[in-house]
Amino acid sequence: MRKLFITFIVSILACQMQAKVQTLTSPNGRIKVEINVADRISYQVSAGNELLLADCQASLQVGKEWLGRNAKLKGVKRSAINQTISNVVPLKNATTQNHANVLTLQFAGNYALEFRAYDNGFAYRFVLNRKGTVDIVDEGMTWRFPEASTLHISKTNTFVTSCEEPYVHLSSAEWKPEDGMTHLPILAESAKGTKMLFSEADLRDYPNTFLMSMGSNCLKAIFPKAPEAWEPLGDRSETITREGNYIAHTSANRTLPWRYVVIGDAATIASNEMGRCLAPPCELSDVSWIRPGKVIWDWWNNWSVWNVDFPVGINNPTYKYFIDFAANYGIEYILLDEGWCRDVRNPFEMVDDIDVSELVEYGKSKGVGVWLWMTWLAVEQHPDVIEHYAKMGVKGLKIDFMDHSDQWMVNFYERTTKACAKHHLMVDFHGSFKPAGLEYRYPNLLAYEGVRGMEQCGGCTPDNTIWLPLMRNAVGAMDFTPGSMNSMQPKYYVTSRSNPAGMGTRAYQMALYVIFETGLQMLADSPTRYMQNDECARFIASVPVTWDETRVLSAKAGKYIVVAKRKGERWFVAALTNNESQDLTLDLGFLTRNGQLTAFRDGTNAHRVAVDYRKQQQAVSPSTKLSIHLAPSGGWCGVIE
């Protein structure tokens, strides 16, 4: 009888645990995640008294089995994380505080769901604890808004994308299933104005996530299938001719990528380090050779220098001129972009006028390193090219045109970055997807493109760019390629291949260097043009790419942003706006003592003649409040010493 009674009690407790809604709150109690385990696993998320996400589903199809459907809850574990992370490449802060409450739900069938609640958002992931390998056929992930929310997304009709589409802004009620899809990250705004940044982290041996509408204010995750056969596509890529019926063939004993949402106002989104908190630790024992910095770039300015006594172009005299400029301005690197090798499919054979070894040695004598551009296909087909140029003394590779983000290509990123690390080469991925954690495991990966940057010229408008601190750059390093001295207002914009121009005022272009975050920051314009604008170039060259401390002083989504960043004893402060003028007040209360401000502001006529700027200097203190005016597509930047 006693045995039957105990069995009865255990059965009751098991049923109660099975039906119970599990609640997880952030350390400050503001963010609450409620997970319901029934015939399916669903959850809802609120911030304070505002319900932000409702009836969101989490499931995983492994072979023919759907994990998360009719799930049997076996155990519940609660814990907390409270750690300080030291950053190898500190794009925001020298250290990052990782503070979260954790809820792990263990299910029959040897899998679990792990949730984390942070003061500025939440994350979850599947954990598999099985043997061998599995085919993951699909992941059932939905994000549902309880009422219509405003979405800021990059629409694409195909998984083949360089992630450079402009942002579109629409209601979740207007976005239909037939309207295409978007890649991550995306930004949503609730009816009350709360911002939500959606992305993923710790992406390994798994495809990138895309989203499409399901209607009824609900977004659904979709994934590129795993490729099984390819054929050549031009001289720099391949096209997939056959796909598997799964999205990933992978280990059955692993964690899957984190799905995360940052929640708060615009300043919270721009200052978040959620991806850093969710990343696994660095896998390199020696990182002393990794040197973030700035690089003078050739392609955008079309190798155009003048007032010289040699024919300019893709030749050693032109690149030596670039090296001399870099040395004079304290810029760490030059980059040889497309054109230095005779055929992009053969990165070992240079054109007649290029000798990379000679340029490396010349740069060494001037304290300037050399980077080389290559296609991903060349690296894939000639993996020994990494060791070849590393032995020559090249410092890094800019690898381009991946344009895919399936499991195979995600693994290409990792094995290439790892091979480069073995030979002490740094990496910049162009034609790429967004950062998702590899850069923390292998911090020699300094930058990703995956952005509508200035190389788009007339397609790179301030109205689009103003969203980047809250979207693309909010999830990691971003190679935007700023720095045009040939600055123009959008309504007067003209450009040509031999005389490229950038949108935004001169002060706007300079402010980008303070606000945008990347471990490898380009100077896109001609060395000659920079020397003609020496005081602007000197300021740009002085802006660090890594920081001890970052503060977002104020921001309004799609309108403006003001940021202050500290490196040692110096504070750099900058502001950007969209295509509308702004009058802002900068409170310097973050200072701990008095200092001297050197600032660059939009000139009186910058609304017409975008190169118009004024330099000013003044004493400042922690009680100083600066009134600044930003012209349309304008900016402001300065340094306090």
Q: So which residues are the catalytic ones? A: 400, 455
Instruction: Report the distance separating Cα 181 and Cα 165, nearest Å.
Output: 12
- For residue 407, which of 251, 186, 197, 281 has the smallest C-alpha distance? 251
Q: Which residues of 456-479 are buried (b: 16+ CB within 10 A; e: fewer)?
A: ebeebbbbbbbbbbbbbbbbbbbb
Token code pair at residue 313: 């172009």
Residues in the chain: 641
Sign, CA dihedral 314-318-320-323, equals: negative
Rg, C-alpha atoms of the chain: 26
- For residue 506, which of 537, 473, 531 has the smallest C-alpha distance? 537
Q: Where does residue 49 fall: left (phi above 0), alpha (psi -120 to 50 degrees), or beta otherwise?
A: alpha
By the 8 A CB rule, do 134 and 152 touch? no
Token code pair at residue 460: 């790179």
Instruction: Report the distance separating Cα 382 and Cα 399, nearest Å.
Output: 13
DSSP notation for 504-540: S-HHHHHHHHHHS--SEEEE-S-HHHHHHTHHHHHHH
By the 8 A CB rule, do 214 and 222 touch? no
Question: One-letter amino acid identity for 169?
Answer: H
Instruction: Report the distance separating Cα 307 and Cα 254, nearest Å.
Output: 60
Q: Which residues of 430-444 are buried (b: 16+ CB within 10 A; e: fewer)?
A: bbbbbbbbbbbbbbb
Task: Provide the terminal-to-terminal Cα distance of the chain, rounded to the nearest Å.
Answer: 81
Token code pair at residue 151: 């979405």
Which residues make Cβ contacts (< 8 Å) with residue 315, sequence separation at least 6?
Answer: 353, 354
DSSP notation for 29-65: S-EEEEEEESSBEEEEEEETTEEEEEEEEEEEEETTE
Instruction: Report the distance separating Cα 270 and Cα 314, nearest Å.
Output: 39
Question: One-letter amino acid identity for 365?
Answer: S
Name the DSSP letter for residue 411.
Answer: H
- Cβ atoms within 10 Å of 503's Cβ, excluding its own: 29
∠ at Cα 446 (424, 126), nearest 5°? 105
Which residues make Cβ contacts (< 8 Å) with residue 49, sequence separation at least 6?
Answer: none
Instruction: Report the distance separating Cα 432 and Cα 7, nearest Å.
Output: 57
| Residue ranges with strand state E in 161-276 | 168-171, 181-183, 186-189, 195-201, 210-215, 218-222, 227-233, 237-243, 248-255, 258-264
